[in-house]
């Protein structure tokens, strides 16, 4: 029987068992499509990264003797729609069997399920062999529990995969979590090595995307495209991370600086999310490197990194499959505002916001704490509708795929799920931003001021948020301290804070 196997743009797993053998009866199909470029406005670098990685992958498959049909965006037979393309190919190639790998996105999962159900030919969906948990493992793990604490899931994963364990029960180093030591502000030292960059010429690809009329955001250096888009590139970024960045990773994980885009972060999210690199391979490589360099690298740096991938990444995916499709509509705090235009221009006087947005527009990248403490914090404090916030995060970042974007954005950052991912909203005033970053000293606003024209906007927004949303937090123990501080505020001062916050919310472009 002649089989067609579909590969989606984020299913570039070289190690998948499908590719162990070549088979003349198997035809692989990959396509760049408007369906995928248009479901949200993506950053130009994200579109380029996916198309480049897909092209490299299809070439790799062909070099290994597999038959591949690859549709570029401008291919004359490309219907720009997944199921229409498939239907045409089934006819043209007399396909008798259809196989696909389980998509990570709900949208595509539904589309392919419905499509397969409607087919007369045999079809089958197989695992992507990428994640360390199945779609339902997390749900099973937390069955009957009221809260889904990431830490417990993470410990279980450490045991299950025997990662950094002293014995079957106890963690290496005597602690599961070294987060407390991972909270340093970066003050110009230690020196941050230049990222393992690339200088790829992607001008032809950019031209094709532009000529097709795909709407994108952000900018790109067409001669020096900087992201890993092949397995080799990914491995090289991973090696570079181990040799140069790992030893300070944990310490400066939450640090922010106006001139430092990547600090000691790995830049591996795109390579992992497109499946060029396997999460276990990343974890094992990092641990091997640490074991060989224990004099130089402390366990806290390594544990901090492992937790992100073995813990958070798998956890977010589990929450996604447990809570979709309802998750996409959640808006527990009933926020209704729009995102200000400066999310697309970086034109704001708030120094932290300017830098976090500018580097996102220029590089399709911001590290976790910039996404959470700066842009996410502002969006939540100004009570922005989660749909608006999601569309921005889903578009702008190189690594943004819904399963990990929406859980981080709606859940961790915006508290729109009412406390599934986070136990309290991640909001802060300017002083916490100042504690972790080097933004405030060169800002037009004064971080210590709460009212007056030069007061840091985060300060009044913070108190206003607590004040306006107080009903929502009545029964949230973790908010008790914040709420009692609110209750103790001098009423006149609170009135001033609320007034200034309202001005900011009404007229964000002025700030
Ligand atoms: P590093 O700091 O070097 O971390 C290593 C790896 O750990 C990352 O590559 C990533 O795979 C994993 N990781 C770290 N934090 C998380 C997390 N919270 N959830 C899941 N995995 C994590 N990550 C995405 O991959 N795609 C997204 O669309 C995305 N959207 C986000 C939106 C918001 C509002 C926030 C607060 C976070 C988001 N994250 C997302 C998580 C995190 O910010 C990125 O994974 C990270 O910044 C990628 O850069 P890096 O590879 O240099 O990460
Ligand atoms: Fe941001 Fe306020 Fe600091 Fe300015 S003073 S950088 S607005 S936190």
**Cα separation of 11 and 257, whole Å?**
34
Domain ranges in the chain?
3-126, 137-323, 341-510
At residue 134, the 3 state secondary structure works out as coil
Listed in sequence order, the residues at least 6 apart from 152 whose beta carbon sits closer than 8 Å to its beta carbon are: none
CATH superfamily membership of 341-510:
DNA Cyclobutane Dipyrimidine Photolyase, subunit A, domain 3 (1.10.579.10)
At residue 223, the 3 state secondary structure works out as coil
CB of 27 closer than 8 Å to CB of 67: yes
Please tell me the distance between residue 112's alpha carbon and the centre of ligand 1 in angstroms: 27
ipTM above 0.95, yes or no: yes
Q: Which helix (H) or strand (E) holds 238?
A: helix 231-240
| Cβ count near 198 (within 10 Å) | 16
Please tell me the distance between residue 26's alpha carbon and the centre of ligand 1 in angstroms: 36
Is residue 352 lining ligand 2, measured as CB closer than 6 Å?
Answer: yes
| CA nearest to 306, candidates 409, 155, 138, 135 | 155
For residue 340, give Cα distances in angstroms to 285, 351, 465, 498: 42, 16, 17, 19
Which tens digits make up the pLDDT trace of 386-400?
A: 999 999 999 999 999
For atom 14 of ligand 1, which residue has the closest CA? 308
Distance of CA 254 to the CA centre of its chain: 16
Tell me, what's the pLDDT at 165? 98
Residues with CB under 6 A from ligand 1: 265-269, 272-273, 308-309, 312-313, 316, 367-368, 371-372, 376, 393, 397, 399-400, 404-405, 408-409, 412-413
CATH 3.40.50.620 correct for 3-126: yes
Is residue 18 lining ligand 2, measured as CB closer than 6 Å?
Answer: no
Mutate to test the pocket of ligand 1, among 399, 401, 405, 426 (most ligand atoms within 8 A of CB): 399
For atom 7 of ligand 2, which residue has the closest CA? 350
Please tell me the distance between residue 428's alpha carbon and the centre of ligand 2 in angstroms: 11
CB of 185 closer than 8 Å to CB of 437: yes
CB of 43 closer than 8 Å to CB of 391: no
At residue 291, the 3 state secondary structure works out as helix
Tell me, what's the pLDDT at 180? 78
**Cα separation of 184 and 269, whole Å?**
23
Is residue 82 lining ligand 2, measured as CB closer than 6 Å?
Answer: no
CATH topology of domain 137-323: 1.25.40
Low-confidence stretches of the chain (pLDDT < 70) are 1, 182
In this prediction the pTM is 0.98
Which tens digits make up the pLDDT trace of 370-388?
A: 999 999 999 999 999 999 9
Matching fold, domains 3-126 and 341-510: no
Tell me, what's the pLDDT at 182? 67
According to DSSP, residue 33 is labeled -
Please tell me the distance between residue 396's alpha carbon and the centre of ligand 1 in angstroms: 13
């Amino acid at each position: 029987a002649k089989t067609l196997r579909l590969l989606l743009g984020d299913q570039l797993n070289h190690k998948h068992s499908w590719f162990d053998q070549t088979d003349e009866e198997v035809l692989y199909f990959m396509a760049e499509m408007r369906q995928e470029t248009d479901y949200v406005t993506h950053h130009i670098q994200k579109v380029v990264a996916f198309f480049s990685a897909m092209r490299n992958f299809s070439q790799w498959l062909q070099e290994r003797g597999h038959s591949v049909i690859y549709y570029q965006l401008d291919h004359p037979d490309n219907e720009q729609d997944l199921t229409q393309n498939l239907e045409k190919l089934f006819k043209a190639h007399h396909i008798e069997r259809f196989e696909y790998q389980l998509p990570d996105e709900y949208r595509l999962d539904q589309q392919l399920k419905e499509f397969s159900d409607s087919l007369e030919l045999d079809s089958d969906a197989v695992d992507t062999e990428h994640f360390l948990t199945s779609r339902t493992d997390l749900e099973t793990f937390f069955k009957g529990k009221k809260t889904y604490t990431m830490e417990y899931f993470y410990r279980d994963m450490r045991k299950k995969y025997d990662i950094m364990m002293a014995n079957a029960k106890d963690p290496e180093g005597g602690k599961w979590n070294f987060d407390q030591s991972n909270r340093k502000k970066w003050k110009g030292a230690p020196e941050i090595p230049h990222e393992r960059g690339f200088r790829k010429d992607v001008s032809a690809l950019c031209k094709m995307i532009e000529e097709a009329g795909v709407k994108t955001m952000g900018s790109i250096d067409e001669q020096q495209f900087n992201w890993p888009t092949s397995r080799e590139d990914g491995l090289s970024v991973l090696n570079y991370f181990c040799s140069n960045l790992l030893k300070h990773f944990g310490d400066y994980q939450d640090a922010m600086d106006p001139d430092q885009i990547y600090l000691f972060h790995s830049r591996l999210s795109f390579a992992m999310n497109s499946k060029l690199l396997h999460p276990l391979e990343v974890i094992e490589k990092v641990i091997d490197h640490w074991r060989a360099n224990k004099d130089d690298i402390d366990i806290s740096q390594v544990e901090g990194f492992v937790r992100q991938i073995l813990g958070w990444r798998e956890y977010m995916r589990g929450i996604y499959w447990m809570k979709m499709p309802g998750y996409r509509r959640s808006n527990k705090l009933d926020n209704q505002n729009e995102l200000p235009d400066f999310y697309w221009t970086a034109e704001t006087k708030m120094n932290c916001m300017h830098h976090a947005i500018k580097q996102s527009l220029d590089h399709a990248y911001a590290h976790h704490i910039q996404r959470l403490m700066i842009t996410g914090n502002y969006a939540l404090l100004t009570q922005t509708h989660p749909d608006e916030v999601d569309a921005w995060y889903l578009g702008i970042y190189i690594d943004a795929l819904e399963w990990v974007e929406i859980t981080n954005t709606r859940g961790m950052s915006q508290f729109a799920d009412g406390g599934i991912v986070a136990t309290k909203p991640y909001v802060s005033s300017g002083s916490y931003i100042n504690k972790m970053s080097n933004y405030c000293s060169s800002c037009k606003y004064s971080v210590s001021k709460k009212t007056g024209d030069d007061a840091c906007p985060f300060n009044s927004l913070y108190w206003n948020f607590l004040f306006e949303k107080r009903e929502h937090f009545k029964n949230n123990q973790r908010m008790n301290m914040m709420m009692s501080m609110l209750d103790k505020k001098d009423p006149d001062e609170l009135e001033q804070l609320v007034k200034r916050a309202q001005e900011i919310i009404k007229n964000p472009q002025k700030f």
